[in-house]
Structure 1
């Protein structure tokens, strides 16, 4: 995995310890009596602000990094098994069961000899930013993460699908992974999904209940009408109304016969109509107006515009 992005390959345990420390942090490395089979393979790279790495030691090892301070470590066995002790909690990891050690967590690991892992390195500030986006309040340094990650469960399995898409992109040298705007958006989604699945938000556990359905829909309408130029996501709207995304979407559909994102498109189309109607044709282009209102695909914009107003954008502009 990540063969095109090698970091180090060595059968010297001390070199292995030193080079791996440069990626993560200083740690202790003890090799069992299978030392003659020891060979570290460490590949990977940083994409969108998070590290994705492949690691294998070839022998039974005990790794003692101690307490993390400024990052979290997600470990996903691809082969073999390992015992991870995170803040004293033992997690038996294998294919289908991973682990996460968050900032300020202590970690001790025992890898079986045939173990290889996909490892994600996520900076603390990135985790805290995702926690704020999901909850609407700062974590205040409290990032208590559930250590076990059971990939037989739907939410964790879906999250791993996101990670796999990043891995495949790196392995295939996809140009998308070289585009910082694209790779950072994918990485943000991965971290948001991770925090949504694993974070035990102490404030959320004592938060006020959700808004009444009608009030929630009215609140969303007001937000979309007031700031149609904002990059709205369902997670933003759900947390603003203290409802789940599914419950909010259902309530909105019931009252408005469309989804929140569908309503946002209607708001933006009305804005585009006003701009085109007031514009001087010689000084304004349809592409300019469409882009201003967040429509990247001109053909889709024109089709939606015609459905909404019964005419093409060019007809409105010529009036």
Structure 2
């Protein structure tokens, strides 16, 4: 990834570190992520850069060292780290001998909380570094699978970012990055961050390989009222934009079971059903605005559509006109 212009460096306005000093780089990165050892491998000058933001319980940062380095990360038992390669490549070794390699936008390394790991960065390597509390990701898996998680998740070392699920995770990360870079509503509205955090965790669990995939694929004996309970929850809490984990808890079944029930009975996924409920609610407000000062942006934000271009596209697809045309027609009438 070129750093020839300011705009090309992700999260630049949230800079935490710009240094050629090895000790300072190790200290600041450790403060943002966790203690480790940083060792330059070649004689070229370090050009360490870290930009980072907090999204709910997650820490998202852009990190590069501008030099070949080795990082030794001891077990901490507190955090999972996802190193998403944007440029260059890295080699990762776990204490059990498992080895892997990541390359720009092709792979991501998953660093486990209960393992020691060594990471060798090439000079041109740049990564999104995502830190996730154990309780968050393990609790999310427990909610989706409707089963207790009693130990660390044994993710495989390297996640394929070229798979459909891997591309989905990249899109989530890029959306969060764009919102912070452009001072979007996500950066201003803490309530909306919960939705993005849940989306990132769900995409991560789906994209990463490992034994946990069996939990996500399993179905359980569906409660006869599970679908109704999920639908009731959606309609009662649509404005809060319930997550898939919220719906599995309300329905009392696993995410896989709930998704199959939606597909079989309604020919859509829970997320698509929720989106359509929110679109219908937004249309109702545009048809019957509470005051003359109500704008399309007000209505879109009220129902969780933070990307106005996307909202207009979805709305036109469903109703054959833009949201502004609906509101204008209401006022003309």
- In the alignment, the residues of structure 1 paired with residue 271 and residue 117 of structure 2 have an alpha-carbon distance, to the nearest angstrom, of 44
3-state DSSP of counterpart to 1:229: helix
Residue aligning to 2:260: 247
Q: CA deviation at 1:76?
A: 1.1
Residue matched to 1:4: 13
Q: Compared with structure 1, are the counterparts of its residues 223 and 53 closer, same or farther at alpha carbon in structure 2 (3 Å cutoff)? A: closer
Which residue number corresponds to residue 92 of structure 2? 84
What is the distance in 2 between the residues matched to 1:49 and 1:156? 21
1:182 is displaced (CA, Å) by 0.8
In 2: Cα distance, 1:241 partner to 1:139 partner: 14
Q: CA RMSD in A?
A: 3.6
Which residue, out of 183, 186, 204, partners 2:215?
204
Aligned match for 1:33, one of 27, 42, 66? 42
How far off its partner does 1:109 sit? 0.3
Distance, in Å, in 2 between the alignment partners of 1:227 and 1:52 is: 30
8 Å CA contact 2:14–2:51 kept in 1: the answer is yes
Deviation of the 1:227 alpha carbon: 8.9
1:282 corresponding residue in structure 2:
none
Mapping for residues 1-319 of structure 1, pairs under 5 Å: 1=9, 2-34=11-43, 36-87=44-95, 88-95=97-104, 96-198=106-208, 200-201=211-212, 204=215, 211=222, 219-221=226-228, 224=231, 229=236, 236-237=247-248, 240=253, 243=256, 247-253=260-266, 261=273
Q: Is the 8 A contact 2:84 2:127 kept in 1?
A: yes
Contact 1:61–1:111 (Cα < 8 Å) also in 2: yes
The 2-side partners of 1:49 and 1:6 are apart by 19
CA offsets 1:43-99 (integer angstroms, 9 cap, x no match): 111122211111111111010011131111111111111001234321110111111
Give the SS at the match of 2:18.
strand
Change in Cα spacing, 1:228 to 1:25, as seen in structure 2 (3 Å) is same
Residue 180 of structure 1 deviates from its aligned partner by: 0.4
Classify 1:229/1:57 alpha carbon distance in 2 versus 1 (closer, same or farther; 3 Å).
Answer: same
Q: Structure 1, residues 148-198: CA drift from partner, whole Å, max 9, x if none?
A: 111111111112111110011111121322210012211221112212332
TM-score (norm 2): 0.69
CA displacement at 1:205 relative to structure 2: 8.2
How many equivalent residue pairs?
Answer: 267
What 5-or-longer segments of structure 1 have no aligned partner? 270-285, 288-294, 305-319
Segments of 5+ residues of structure 2 without an aligned counterpart are 1-8, 282-288, 291-301, 305-314, 320-333
- Counterpart of 2:284 in structure 1 is none
Q: Which moved more, 1:82-91 or 1:157-166?
A: 82-91
The one-character-per-residue Cα deviations of 1:89-113 (angstroms, maximum 9, x if unpaired) are 2111011111111322322100011
